[in-house]
Structure 1
Amino acid sequence: MKKTLTVATLLAASAVQAAGFNIDTQGSRATGMSTAVTGFIDDASAVYYNPAGILGVKKLDIQVGDTGIIPRIAFTPSEGLGAGVKYNQEFTVSPPPHFYGVYRLTEKLAVGAGVMVPFAARSQWEDGFVGSTRGKVSRFAAWHLNPTVAYEPIKRVRLGAGVDLVRATIHIKRDQPAPMDPGNELELGGGAWGIGFNAGAQVDVVERYLSLGVSYRSQISLNFDGSAHFNGVPPALATLLADQPITGAVRLPTTVNIGLASRPVDNLTLAFDLGYVRWSDFPELFFNFENDALDRPVRKNWEDTVNYHLGGEYAFTDKFAARLGFMYDPTPSPKADTTTPPPPGTAPQSTLGPDLPDADRYKVSVGAGFKFTENIGVDAAYQFLYLHATKTDIPGLPGTFDGTAHVISATFKYQM
């Protein structure tokens, strides 16, 4: 009998760049402002951040870029095996790329398309990690192809909408618990297709001085087909731990962003965004095998989150602009209450574990834009991310997660 699996089960660790496994660095200009751009974004990256903003393109805007995410996540058990020892993830670089193209057909109508990876994860815990039976190695990516159209029905009001065509892939490894011998692994892999939609609006509240924007991305359901492979199975368990198919139903969460942008003086833009992510779409983690005896449900009870962005951009000349930003992005995982332990037999107050490590994130960004010629330029950004130490009280592996990450982004653009 086949059931379903949530994507969170298959991720041995989330992408460190954003809470949960949402990646918001889909353009270097926006990254330099900690993505506080919903209210004013006016270039091709608006395909992702707010489709109404593609009407800011003069005629043609083509952008190609990449973002290197270099995380350093650690876990320190507070009890049992390895208590007090800090376990680190191996060095990895996750490079989610982005591609955009926008063409303005008329003064009031523009079309565009983008390819990006807004949900992804990649990690590997070091050898000897005490929690390797819950999470060891992971790769997950949800590629979005996003055709978009925008229209200006009346002056100072812009509307946009698009379709998200998604291809997602998953690959994970984890050690098998006793009585398996050390080195025995479970390896899972699979793929899925999905479709969703997005929409946005921008309004010039006070022309040239104050603008408001809102963007929406729908939940996307992904039905996975894949396989499970068991390495080094002893003969006595060969029947139970035979290679077999797995299936799953994954939901990428709904997101909503509201942004306000002000231009108090010439060449200066100040922006503030609020973002909402409906992480409650992930109630539990569940391995789903053809053999029901291998299924292991783990409640996650993720909570919806609101994140906060502040950003600024100053154009010193027509060819050079500088950017700054700050963001607070809380974890969707319930936090442990260490003063009031849960009663025996009840669920832990925190569901945070090495299968999906997470923590509240604080991000500081800097960036710059350069134009080499009238049509050719580049945007670059750096972001430092701090993961606040977060305690977990999950049975068998209580402890603390913390870490940092460096994010380096560059986008090359051709505009006319």
Structure 2
Amino acid sequence: MKKTLSLITLLAAGTTQAAGFQVNTQSARSSGMANAAAAWLDDSSAIYSNAANILGVEKLDVTAGVTGILPSLQFTPTGGSVQGQKTTLSPPPHVFAVYKITDSLAAGVGFYTPFGASSRWKDDFVGRFRAQESGLSIYNINPTVAYQVHDRFRVGAGLNITRGTLEIKRALGFVTSEGQVHLGGAGWGLGFNAGVQAVVVPKLVTLGVQYRSPISMTFKGDADFRDVPPAFQGRLPDTRVEGDVKLPQSVVAGIAVTPLDRLTLAFDANWVGWSSFPELAIEFPDNPAINNPLPKNWRSTWNFHLGGEYGITDALQVRAGVLWDPAPSPDETLTPDLPDANRFGVSAGVGYSFGAVRVDAAYQFVNLFDKDSTAPGMTGVYNGTAQVFGLTLGYSM
């Protein structure tokens, strides 16, 4: 049987500002516009949003920042009371640098977190035998090049060198007591991204498209069983865990319109191939009797982003946006180990330049609408909110 240690296992009640476990806040400038960036964003953070757009830098551009994601997720079991989480703040970082070698050629590298989540259910959580605490971090090193094919057409591509780490804790129920299992692991993966930008009407309309490939990763780690009664210790020794996972591919298409010299309006449609997660499973090679794969049957989804940026002065810009991001999980497989909900978000941001140095800040409020679960044994409703705080510093010359 193929080993399938699913990274979504680590979502175990985790949530980010995006559906599933995607993190797309790699630039406070973009976040202020609800992440509508594929057709226009032209600083070094374009390594993430559209590789072709790095040709927009003057000579050298460096950006670095952090995003604080503060989720608040709740589960109300059928006929029961609301179950909540402990406060957890996730701070994924982002660093990008681009150098324009010639007028037609630019190269750069980015370091950021495209996927991740962190959560802690309260100690008496009714679903603690499926999820207690979790942490998932996917780090991407993304060397990128871009070339100006024509005055109105750019292309870009990058290599994605991916490192993933995971940790999970769940309760174990015995006849008269409870124990715990702690799992941890890590792995590497390799993928690519490619993008194009086209100027449809000079100084008025641009289009951008970027593709990110799926990334296959093999995870290896250990399972530590705690507070196991003597009668069960022979069946639950500390052991290895390992398996394969495929991070989803995605395609984003965007359009940007500049009706006024200082006003940019942008819209992105983003397809994410969540169907690459048919089940949630961990394989124990030395103790296969405790393998327990669960079907998930996630669906690929589209999410949508609309934003605008207005330059009050040459140095000061303000931004705003809205987004819609539906959950990939069907109701019949939605459980506390992988909770989710349809999301609607609003964002605002501001940027200010001090000569060669600039500062961008952003805030997003994301509402997680009620989502019913009909999963056997854990029926109920999931909902909540997420607040996202972004800060990025930039330098250009």
Structures share a fold, TM > 0.5? yes
Quote the offset at 1:317 in angstroms. Answer: 1.0
Identify the residue that residue 167 of structure 1 maps to in structure 2.
Answer: 163
Aligned equivalent of 2:72: 72
Residue 23 of structure 2 aligns to a residue whose secondary structure is coil
Aligned match of 2:262: 267
Q: How big is the shift at 1:177?
A: 2.5
Change (3 A) 1:168 1:300: same
2:254 is the counterpart of 1:255 = no
Please tell me the residue identity of whatever aligns with 1:378. V
Change (3 A) 1:2 1:159: closer
What's the counterpart of residue 342 of structure 1? none
Q: Secondary structure at the match of 2:143?
A: strand
SS in 2 for 1:133: coil
Q: Within 5 A, what are the aligned runs for 1:7-406? A: 7-78=7-78, 83-179=79-175, 181-182=177-178, 184-290=179-285, 291-335=287-331, 350-372=332-354, 374-406=355-387
Q: Distance in 2 between matches of 1:391 and 1:400?
A: 5
Query: What TM-score results when the alignment is normalised by the length of structure 1?
Result: 0.94
Give the CA deviation at 1:17.
1.1
For 2:11 and 2:73, how far apart are their aligned partners in 1?
15
Structure 1 CA distance for aligned equivalents of residues 235 and 122 of structure 2:
29
1:16 maps to amino acid: T
What do you get for the CA RMSD once the two structures are aligned? 1.1
Q: 1:269 to 1:239 in 2, by over 3 A?
A: same
Distance 1:409 1:380 in 2: 5
CA 1:178–1:396: 2 relative to 1, 3 Å? farther
Q: Check whether the contact 2:11–2:21 (CA below 8 A) recurs between aligned residues.
A: no
Aligned to 1:347: none
Tell whether the 8 Å contact from 1:16 to 1:358 is kept in structure 2 after alignment: no
The TM-score normalised by the length of structure 2 is 0.98
User: Percentage identity across aligned positions?
Assistant: 49
| SS class of match (2:34) | coil
Q: What is the rounded CA distance, in whole Å, between the counterparts of 1:287 and 1:55 in structure 2? A: 43
Q: CA separation in 1, counterparts of 2:217 and 2:297? A: 20
Q: Is the 8 A contact 2:15 2:73 kept in 1?
A: no
Report the secondary structure of 1:130's partner residue. coil
1:136–1:180 CA distance, 2 compared to 1 (3 A): farther
Asked if 2 retains the 8 angstrom alpha-carbon contact of 1:2 and 1:288, the reply is no
> Unmatched 5+ residue regions in structure 2?
none
Which amino acid in 2 is paired with 1:273? D
Give the letter for the 2:386 counterpart: A
Paired residue type of 2:259: P
- Give the letter for the 2:376 counterpart: P
> For 1:228, what is the secondary structure of its paired residue?
strand
The equivalent of 1:409 in structure 2 is: 390
Look up the SS of the partner of 2:333 in the other structure: coil
Deviates more, 1:405-414 or 1:9-18: 9-18
* One-letter amino acid matched to 2:383: D
Residues in 2 aligned to 1:360 and 1:2: alpha-carbon distance in whole angstroms: 32
The number of residue pairs the alignment matches comes to 396
Cα drift, residue 292 of structure 1:
1.0
Change (3 A) 1:207 1:180: farther
Equivalent pair of 1:180/1:234 in contact (CA under 8 Å): no
The 1:50/1:2 distance shift into structure 2, 3 A limit, reads closer
Letter in 2 for 1:306: W
Tell me if the contact between 2:16 and 2:116 (Cα under 8 Å) persists in the aligned partners: no
Cα distance in 2 between the residues matched to 1:180 and 1:192 = 37
Q: Post-superposition shift, 1:385?
A: 0.5
For residues 2 and 283 of structure 1, the distance between their equivalents in structure 2, rounded to whole angstroms, comes to: 13
How far apart are the structure 2 equivalents of 1:104 and 1:68?
31
Letter in 2 for 1:296: N
Moved over 4 A (4+): none
CA distance in 2, matches of 1:267, 1:188: 51
Cα offset, 1:16, TM superposition? 2.4
> d(CA) in 2 for partners of 1:4 and 1:351?
17
Encode CA deviations 1:318-373: one digit per residue, 9 max, x unaligned: 100000010000000013xxxxxxxxxxxxxx21111011000101000011112x
- How far the C-alpha of 1:15 sits from its partner, in A, is 2.8
Q: Please report how far the alpha carbon of residue 178 of structure 1 lies from its aligned counterpart in structure 2 after TM superposition.
A: 3.4
Secondary structure of 2:55's match? helix
Q: Structure 1: how far apart are the matches of 2:15 and 2:147?
A: 35
